[in-house]
Amino acid sequence: MVKESEEDKKKKAKPKAKPKEEKKEEPKAEAHKEAVKHEAHVPKPEAPKAEAAPVEKAEIAKPKKRKAASKKAETKVFVARGKRKESVARATITAGKGVVRINSQKLESLNNPYIRDIIREPLRYIGPEANTVDISVNVNGGGSMGQAQAARTAIANALWMYFDQMNLRKKFVEIDRSLVIEDTRRVETKKFRGPKARARFQKSYR
């Protein structure tokens, strides 16, 4: 066997030196770089903008409404009341052709001529003006004569209110006071021990 030289022995004895490893960068530096990159990509929050003052809109001129055409001439309407006993009548008088209605029926439709004359009495005193008005009477309560007299008073009061320039009230009072002034008399109430207000029951032993 060939003897190894001393130099070869020294080389085998000495361990080979390991190559120096490159020093790795510290993790802190890497983290700092990544943070800088992240900040570069993140958009900065915008400062709040000052709100603009509201702009007032110009007022649009609305078209004015046209006034209605001239109104029709106002018609005179009067309502008068008349009372007699338990009857109450209300007469409405307007311009017309002389038609008189009692509870929506024409006066001529009443059968009793005496009652018709009582109701028509105030119209006889004013002459031709009676043909220029229409009268509608609503009457209720009481009997037929009481209703006729109440309607008579209501019609007379309505006439002097409608023809205010003719001074009819004074004329009616001179003719018959009950035409325009209501009768305040009422039936006396019934009493005990009798069939009516004053009559007494008879005694059988006399």
Alpha helices in the chain (DSSP H): 6-13, 27-41, 113-124, 144-162, 168-175
Residue 10: inside a domain, yes or no?
no
Tell me the CB-side half-sphere exposure of residue 23, using CA atoms within 13 A.
2
pLDDT attached to residue 1:
44
Considering only residues 119 and 34, tell me which one the structure prediction assigns the higher pLDDT. 119
Is pLDDT at 2 greater than 50 in this prediction? no
Residue 134: inside a domain, yes or no?
yes
Is pLDDT at 44 greater than 60 in this prediction? no
Structural domain that includes position 160:
78-174
Residue 114 pairs in a beta bridge with: none
- Strands of the 133-140 sheet, one edge to the other: 78-84, 87-95, 133-140, 100-102, 105-106
Quote the CA–CA distance of 98 and 128 in Å, as a whole number: 10
**3-class SS letters over 60-80:** CCCCCCCCCCCCCCCCCCEEE
Number of domains in the chain: 1
Residue 106 pairs in a beta bridge with: 101
**What CATH number corresponds to the domain at position 153?**
3.30.230.10
Residue 27: inside a domain, yes or no?
no
Is pLDDT at 184 greater than 60 in this prediction? yes
User: In whole numbers, what is the pLDDT of the chain averaged over residues?
Assistant: 81
Residue 87: inside a domain, yes or no?
yes
Is pLDDT at 119 greater than 60 in this prediction? yes
